[in-house]
Structure 1
Amino acid sequence: MMDWLHDHPDVRTIRVAAADLNGVARGKRLPARFANKVFSEGTRFPFSVMNLDIWGEDIEDSPLVFESGDCDGLLMPTERGFLPMPWLEAPTALLPIWMFHMDGKPYAGDPRQALARVAERYTAMGLTPVVATELEFFLIDDSGKQLRVPPSPRSGKRRSGGEVLSLRALDAFDIFFTELYDACEAMDIPADTAISEAGPGQFEINMSHQNDALKAADDAWLFKMLVKGLARRHGFAASFMAKPYDEWSGNGMHMHFSVLDKDGNNIFNDGTEAGSDKLRHAVAGCLAAMEGSTLVFAPHENSYDRLVPDAHAPTGIAWAYENRTSALRIPASGPSARRIEHRVAGGDVNPYLMIAAVLGAALEGLRDGKEPPAPIKGNAYALDLPQMPTEWGAAIEAFTSSEMIGRIFERELIDNFAMTKRQELRYMAELSEQEQSELYLDTV
């Protein structure tokens, strides 16, 4: 991995960074000449750094702080290695890291370790999940009191409305998107199709399917960092905030997945359009975990402004074939591409926790072998369906008490995440709507 630095002698500084429970990058800056030490010895953060609130503050009464002496964990480079940071002016490299105990045991409170634990359970069963994500974001002019779409660098004009699948909307920011795709290639992020979405200045970029769940999560985390940083370099903001505008649909992060057996066969495929028994078992697991995992899919107060009826985000716990109003959709495809689309998560999620929650629930469904309810037809918003939590506090309680969540995540992570969210819930009540928006715009 050090060869990358030798091949890029203009890089004089590096950042080492890990994702905390909110998906915020926490790390250090150091001269490139000391990079080898990170590989040989690692670096150290307090365990509590992985468990900060959205303001970057310690969690009150957390056992990770004063009770334990705020002791350090050991952070080592992930298999990703060095990556360029094209949104910075000076040539700089990013080295993703993750947390361990000093004896080398993975730290259960690290969200990337939580996903690795789920991936290992698939491997133990001779299975490999194939994952792709779709990330929505807004380009925003936040220089004034009111958020609005930035003027096109080409025309100088602002488009006040959304333009679904509009080439004009994409072309208006052509320089930005060209640089974004070049940066994704340099960072080995498999960015595929870009489209304009329903909101003003809203876009979606899909990631290619891959049979490495950890890399898929890395890609989503790095992509969010890249888009936000590159937008600032162009003089505006980019935000994955769930609902920046009251009057427009919010940002989602949809996830498509299938599962391969040891021979590379898609276990969701039985040659029919309906899919296999195993597809339905995975659906049943995802539905059973939906209430408890809502906090992962909607981790912030603003997240619940998106999860409302008739706003292109699911609210009922249901599945369907080729139906975008349902929480789980089985897209039309050739049999070998049979897959599940999980449509609940907002763009403000931690990708590691989100992918772990979905894959973990599907695996528990495969183990249980239960049948889901019948797939729905028509408008899910108009049906009498069990509902996901509609308030942040209810979602926190559902997360901590869910039997399915206890099967997917280790108790330490569950407790840490719940403590984080309870503290944020308390202090968010002191902020105005504008202050909340300013906070979430850049952090999530």
Structure 2
Amino acid sequence: MKSHASTLLAEVRTFRQNHPDVRYVDLIALDIPGHFYGKRYPVEMLEKVAAGSPLKLPQNAVLLGAQGGLFKIGDYCFHDGDPDANRRLVPGTLKPVSWEAQPLGQMLITSDGTEAPIEFEPREVLAKVLERLQRKGIHPVVAFELEFYLFDKKLSDGLPQFARDPLSDDADDQPNLHIERLSRFAPVLDDMVETAKAQGIDITVITAELGPGQFEINFGHLEDGLRAADWAALFCRSTRAVALKHGYRASFMAKPYLQHPGSGMHVHVSLYDAAGNNLLAAHQQQPLRHAVAGCLELLPHCMPIFSPNHNAFRRLGGTVNAATRACWGFEDRDACVRIPESDPRNLRIEHRLASADANPYLVLAAILVGLEHGLEAAKEPIAPLNEDRNSGADFPLEMLEAVRAMQHQPTLREGLGAEFVDVYCENKRQDHLAFQQEIHAREYRWYL
């Protein structure tokens, strides 16, 4: 513990030496809906925390709904006295922030590794899954891909407007994959990439996607699943801020346009043993088939994680490469679970179902539990789409049905933690009901 504190203290002191104009640091963590919460600390106080002083925030900050409100979930929030809970600094995440008017820093915090971790904190849920896999000799290597849209900074009657082409000042309203779109939007995209790299994020491939103003960013593969999810979360934060500087809005909303493709979160996962052998490639890839079967079996019960809000369900099946059934295939982007072509060393699954606004810690945790379950159950999967285009199992396409399917699934309750599953399901149920408490203008047009 002393060595750990010394490392953190050295990190903070080095940061102060390299950035003497920074007076405050945002200490941030992701809540259940995928929003950052936290506190802004004077940098001199951060040194004290790094040296071992307590860092406490309200436990129930993790439980906030999509609009920041608190819901009654068991005894939490309204019958527990709103207690504080210890957090710790995440080493290696103290970085300068370039998008604020004044010099600032930011650093991730978590309850993972404290004396009393918060069972429903997303990062803690993933940490437990990774620790359990490590005890079993399973070491995941993970890479995220995130799709997002650029919009004009100004909304029109609350609705998004197409991003303006900076060269022609016309709306970028032609969906395409043309490489020229990367050139036309190079100033904002380059700034997004450089800002992410300053946060320690390894950006690899940039793609102009099918939707107008839609792009995809790929991240490097990591042996640290927690850090891979950190990258996805931090990229969303910095990208939104950079877009505003350039006169745009960046959004990871799952389905901003009904007539254009939605935005997804694709997760590549391979599994290795302690010697570095790819577990999925052994025995003529039989473990790969078992892992796929486990993913598909649990997928219908994980929909509140993969599609975390009303809008995310709109993305499924409406346009290109978004499935409406649990399915898999080799080199098939219509499949929820795709097996990209690769050599045995890099054999992996690509899980394509989650929406871009899903919580990356929870998405990865759910995928890993599915893989773990499949390896242990050793069942054969259904036919791949390459053999049968109608292959697949139904999954819920509406939030309340999805919550019912998730809450009492025994493998998920064991794999993700029963307390987390109960809290998460009630959070999603209450969020969905709160969303319904407004009469849309269309109701008046149809029924008044």
Query: Would you say the 8 A contact 1:252–1:343 is kept in 2?
Result: yes
What's the counterpart of residue 194 of structure 2? 182
Pair 1:298 & 2:307 matched: yes
State, as a whole percentage, how many aligned pairs show the same letter.
Answer: 33
Pair 1:338 & 2:347 matched: yes
The CA distance in 1 between the partners of 2:271 and 2:87, in whole Å, is: 31
SS at match of 2:326: coil
Q: Give the alignment of 1:98-113 within 5 angstroms.
A: 98-99=110-111, 104-113=115-124
What's the counterpart of residue 231 of structure 2? 219
Query: What displacement does 1:374 show?
Result: 2.4
What's the counterpart of residue 384 of structure 2? 375
Range with bigger deviation, 168-177 or 132-141: 168-177
State which of 311, 333, 358 in structure 2 corresponds to 1:349: 358
The CA distance in 1 between the partners of 2:184 and 2:379, in whole Å, is: 49
The CA distance in 1 between the partners of 2:365 and 2:112, in whole Å, is: 18
Query: What displacement does 1:376 show?
Result: 2.4
Query: What displacement does 1:219 show?
Result: 0.3
Pair 1:419 & 2:432 matched: no
The CA distance in 2 between the partners of 1:400 and 1:59, in whole Å, is: 17
Pair 1:148 & 2:166 matched: no
Partner letter of residue 40 of structure 2?
R
What's the counterpart of residue 202 of structure 1? 214
Stretches of structure 1 that go unaligned for 5 or more consecutive residues are: 436-444
Query: What displacement does 1:366 show?
Result: 1.3
The CA distance in 1 between the partners of 2:411 and 2:137, in whole Å, is: 22
Superposition TM-score, scaled by structure 2 size: 0.91
Query: Would you say the 8 A contact 1:292–1:401 is kept in 2?
Result: no
Range with bigger deviation, 360-369 or 250-259: 360-369
Query: What displacement does 1:155 show?
Result: 3.0
1:208–1:100 distance in 2 versus 1, CA, 3 Å: closer
Q: CA RMSD of the aligned region, Å?
A: 1.9
Deviations 1:180-229 (A, max 9, x none): 12112211101110011111000001111111100000000000111111
1:432–1:252 distance in 2 versus 1, CA, 3 Å: farther
Deviations 1:74-95 (A, max 9, x none): 1111123302222222221111
Pair 1:28 & 2:24 matched: no
What's the counterpart of residue 438 of structure 1? none
Deviations 1:301-351 (A, max 9, x none): 001100125442111111111111111111111222111011100001000
Stretches of structure 2 that go unaligned for 5 or more consecutive residues are: 1-10, 443-448
Q: Give the alignment of 1:39-438 within 5 angstroms.
A: 39=50, 40-99=52-111, 104-141=115-152, 142-145=154-157, 146-164=159-177, 166-270=178-282, 276-377=285-386, 380=389, 383=390, 385-431=392-438
The CA distance in 2 between the partners of 1:113 and 1:42, in whole Å, is: 19
1:384–1:128 distance in 2 versus 1, CA, 3 Å: closer
What's the counterpart of residue 13 of structure 1? 24
Query: Would you say the 8 A contact 2:254–2:356 is kept in 1?
Result: yes
SS at match of 1:259: strand
1:229–1:139 distance in 2 versus 1, CA, 3 Å: same
Query: What displacement does 1:132 show?
Result: 0.6
User: What is the aligned residue count?
Assistant: 428
The CA distance in 1 between the partners of 2:202 and 2:342, in whole Å, is: 21
1:282–1:191 distance in 2 versus 1, CA, 3 Å: same
The CA distance in 2 between the partners of 1:432 and 1:377, in whole Å, is: 44
Range with bigger deviation, 300-309 or 349-358: 300-309
Query: Would you say the 8 A contact 2:33–2:359 is kept in 1?
Result: yes
SS at match of 1:276: helix
SS at match of 1:195: strand
